[in-house]
Amino acid sequence: MSTHDILHRLSDTLASRRHADPEKSYTAKLFSEGPDSILKKIGEECAELIMAGKDGKRLNIVRESTDVVYHILVLLAFYGLSIEDVSQEMRRREGISGIDEKASRSAGK
């Protein structure tokens, strides 16, 4: 199974938890608490990823990265988005210099 398949399957699963019982599903609990709760978890998980990166322990970096990706997918699902929306944006940016892409976003403000 490819990474693409796993991320899409997880994205679909998270969307299906939108109206699940918050007492039985951690994802449903996050949804019921709203975006501030989800964003707080993303911040916490990013801080843990930073710490893992500073420690340089590969397994911890992978585990914390997984937590960050999961919570980002929850945020996307909360707003009716999925990994496919992110994939489309990545395809749009492919082959464009990061400096040029960032400049194009700044010019549009």
CATH value at residue 51: 1.10.287.1080
**Distance in angstroms (rounded) separating the CA atoms of residues 6 and 63:** 16
H/E stretch holding 78: helix 58-78
Q: Which residue has the higher pLDDT, 53 or 97?
A: 53
Residue 7 Cα distances to 3, 59, 60, angstroms: 6, 20, 20
* pLDDT tens string 1-23: 787 799 999 999 999 999 999 99
The answer to whether 38 and 75 have CB atoms below 8 angstroms apart is yes
* pLDDT tens string 18-60: 999 999 999 999 999 999 999 999 999 999 999 999 999 999 9
> For the chain, how many structural domains are there in total?
1
* pLDDT band at 102; cut points 50, 70, 90: confident
Q: Is residue 21 part of a domain?
A: no
Q: Is residue 35 part of a domain?
A: yes
Q: Is residue 89 part of a domain?
A: yes
Domain of residue 64, residue span: 27-108
